[in-house]
Structure 1
Amino acid sequence: MRLLVAEDDPKLLKSLLHIFESNKFSVDGVSTGEDALAHGQSEEYDGLVMDIMMPGLDGIQVLKRLRKQGITTPALFLTARTEVSQRVEGLDAGADDYLPKPFSTIELLARVRAMLRRKETYLPDLLVFGPVTLNRSTYQLGFQDRLQTLSGKEFQILEMLMQTPATIIPTERFMTHMWGWDATVDTSVVWVHISNLRKKISALGAPVEIRFMRNAGYILEVKP
């Protein structure tokens, strides 16, 4: 799952990015309302985590503009402003939840998971593709009684493939979703992670494969 985090405190932003990346999220960070709006308009994100008080546009203004444009990406506000009227203002702007600072890491993650479960395109914790399962809580790929634990990027790639069965995903789509628009890594990194995924699928003996379609991308299929 990919998150956008908008927070103007550089230390807190760095901490938030570390928290989410350590918990297998793909995450981009911005520090102004204008940047949050531009990124949010891309509709590349599964969820938004935003501070209210930011330079330029504040978080509420950003969310109001996104909602006016028909963008329904779930949003959680992080803020030191805890008065009831301000909470109501944020929720009325289209936020799904509101977490005042300071907050605990476990509560933040729990609220984000709950927010993502409320999406119209809700995905259960256990994804199923043919005979294999992907546990989105433990990051384990399962077949029969065997399990393989995936790295963060392996998990994100397989999650994308399992969310869109029978769909070819171009390499560029993986790059944008997992590393962001301005990624400086080489596209060969996608092949490396997919190669590792194939090895883990093979170790399970699972009858599924990640197939490369020339000049198109990758697709997940059940072997005949």
Structure 2
Amino acid sequence: MKILLLEDDELLAESLAEYLEMDGDEVERVAGGEAVFDATFAKNYDLYIFDINVPDLNGLEVLRALREAGDDTPAIYISALTDIASISRGFEIGAVDYLKKPFDPEELRLRIRRIFREKEKEGILKYGAIRFDPASGRVEGVGEAPFYLGEVQSRIFELLLERKGSLVSSEELMELLEHPGSNALRVTLAKLKKRLGIEITNVRGRGYLLETL
């Protein structure tokens, strides 16, 4: 996952980033609220972790601005504030969780995993910055605007995602084509790779592999 961490305590930010990166996540750190807008303009993230009391613009106002702009990225607040009003306001704005400082980094990691287990149950599949809805074929996180895959490309991408990190045989993939054949499969996969900007490895004579990020 790509995580944006808003935290002005440099030591805490560094330790949290190092801990989360042990799981293979990519963490980008910013110290002020205004810097969040620069970061989110430049790239997409899977998760926001925001402190509230930070320079420039507090974490509550930052998330409010993002939500008003249509950004629905899950957000967790971490804060020393313990008053019910602040906690309630955070949830009203659109946070999915709230963690009071000080806390064990492992608790943060567990809460993150819980959030994404629940999102997976909603049917949205994720691959890096890509968010894919197999039911509709809708793709987000590639380019500036969402788009839709056709039925065949959707079925193939869904299978590769479900089996990412494992080899999928050519025979299984060809069964998803309207007119099965090795040439047709190669063309379909080439178009899918180009459209999504992903790498699908051809294991000669065996099948295809979508690497785990």
Q: If the TM-score is normalised by the length of the shorter chain, which range does it land in?
A: 0.5 to 0.7
Which residue matches 2:88? 88
**Any gaps of 5 or more consecutive residues in structure 2?**
128-156, 169-190
Which residue matches 1:122? 124
Alpha-carbon displacement from aligned partner over 1:1-47 (angstroms, at most 9, x marks no partner): 21111100000111111012111112211111110122234451011
Distance 1:44 1:131 in 2: 19
Amino acid in structure 1 at the alignment position of 2:99: L
Is residue 142 of structure 2 the alignment partner of residue 142 of structure 1? no
Which residue matches 2:192? 166
Distance 1:95 1:131 in 2: 28
* Cα pair 1:51 1:78 within 8 Å, conserved: yes
Please show how residues 35-114 of structure 1 align to structure 2 within 5 Å.
35-42=35-42, 44-114=44-114
Secondary structure of 1:129's match? helix
Say if 1:129 and 1:67 are closer, same or farther in 2 by CA, change over 3 A.
Answer: same
Note the C-alpha offset of 1:59: 0.3
Which residue matches 2:207? 207
Runs of 4+ in 1 over 6 A off after TM superposition: none
Which residue matches 2:137? none
Aligned residues: CA RMSD: 3.3
* Aligned sequence identity (%): 31
* Cα pair 2:4 2:45 within 8 Å, conserved: yes
Is residue 133 of structure 2 the alignment partner of residue 133 of structure 1? no
Distance 1:132 1:53 in 2: 40
Distance 2:91 2:13 in 1: 22
* Cα pair 2:99 2:108 within 8 Å, conserved: yes
Say if 1:61 and 1:142 are closer, same or farther in 2 by CA, change over 3 A.
Answer: same
Say if 1:206 and 1:6 are closer, same or farther in 2 by CA, change over 3 A.
Answer: farther
Larger of the two Rg values belongs to structure: 2
How many residues get paired? 157
Q: TM-score, normalised by structure 1?
A: 0.59
* Cα pair 1:41 1:71 within 8 Å, conserved: no
**Any gaps of 5 or more consecutive residues in structure 1?**
135-140, 145-164, 175-193, 211-219
